[in-house]
């Protein structure tokens, strides 16, 4: 169902949900709105063929790609469902965001597999100065930027997991303990 509001100048809201996440868009007035995004990634695993550091690097890269694919698919689906509930009437927005994120992962290196624990991402984006733009177009543009930012953040945290797991492996090589950490 499309919101019949022209130019996004009247308060409105839309909120689709899926098995992996939810999104909410609230238009407060002609120039202010908020987009909230949340998605859930279940635990991710990758087998480490020979348990080596090279296999660990490949395993972390594999779970990183899995998470990026899931994030992208979930946010695109939520964005499409959200945009379908909003008006297409209005100008095209020029969207630009500065994002500051903190990202952590809990992981377990079993030497035969790497496990990344489930994670939840939540974002609230305050949108101001978009008078006369179509809400559906604003949502799509904002979600495109969010996806790009999330991909960078996921890659950074995966790199940190790899660095920490490798360091932990080297530090515990003598003791035989299983390395695990939160990052």
pLDDT exceeds cutoff 50 at 26: yes
Does 139 fall in a domain?
yes
pLDDT band at 13 (very low <50, low <70, confident <90, very high): confident
Q: What is the pTM of this model?
A: 0.84
pLDDT value for 99: 66
Does 51 fall in a domain?
yes
pLDDT value for 2: 37
pLDDT band at 156 (very low <50, low <70, confident <90, very high): very high
Q: Which residue has the higher pLDDT, 137 or 14?
A: 137
Strand partners, 180: 108
Q: With contact defined as beta carbons under 8 Å apart, do 134 and 90 qualify?
A: yes
pLDDT value for 183: 54
- Total domains, the chain: 1
CB contact burial 9-46 (16+ within 10 A = b; e otherwise): beebebebeeebbbbbbebeeeeebebebbbbbeebeb
Does 39 fall in a domain?
yes
Does 84 fall in a domain?
yes
Does 1 fall in a domain?
no
Does 67 fall in a domain?
yes
| Domain that residue 36 falls in | 6-182
- In 3D space, the residue among 46, 53, 36, 183 whose CA is nearest the CA of residue 119 turns out to be 183
pLDDT value for 132: 87
Does 42 fall in a domain?
yes
- In 3D space, the residue among 78, 92, 93 whose CA is nearest the CA of residue 35 turns out to be 78
Average pLDDT, the chain: 87
Does 133 fall in a domain?
yes
The per-residue pLDDT for range 45-73, each reduced to its tens digit, is 999 999 999 999 999 999 999 999 999 99
Burial of 165 (0-12, 13-18, 19+ CB in 10 A): buried
pLDDT band at 5 (very low <50, low <70, confident <90, very high): very low
């Amino acid at each position: 169902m499309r919101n019949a509001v022209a130019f996004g100048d009247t308060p409105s809201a839309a909120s689709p949900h899926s098995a992996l996440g939810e999104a909410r868009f609230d238009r407060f007035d002609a120039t202010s709105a908020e987009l909230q995004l949340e998605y859930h990634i279940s635990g991710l695993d990758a087998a480490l063929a020979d348990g080596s550091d090279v296999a660990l690097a490949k395993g972390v890269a594999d779970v990183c790609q899995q998470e990026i694919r899931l994030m992208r698919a979930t946010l695109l689906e939520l964005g499409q469902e959200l945009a379908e509930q909003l008006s297409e009437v209005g100008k095209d927005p020029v969207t630009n965001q500065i994002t500051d994120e903190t990202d952590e992962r809990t992981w377990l290196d079993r030497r035969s597999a790497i496990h990344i624990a489930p994670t939840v991402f939540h974002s609230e984006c305050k949108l101001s100065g978009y008078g006369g733009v179509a809400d559906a177009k604003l949502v799509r543009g904002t979600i495109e930027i969010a996806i790009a930012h999330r991909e960078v953040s996921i890659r950074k945290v995966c790199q940190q997991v790899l660095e920490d797991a490798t360091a932990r492996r080297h530090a515990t090589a003598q003791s035989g303990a299983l390395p695990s950490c939160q990052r």
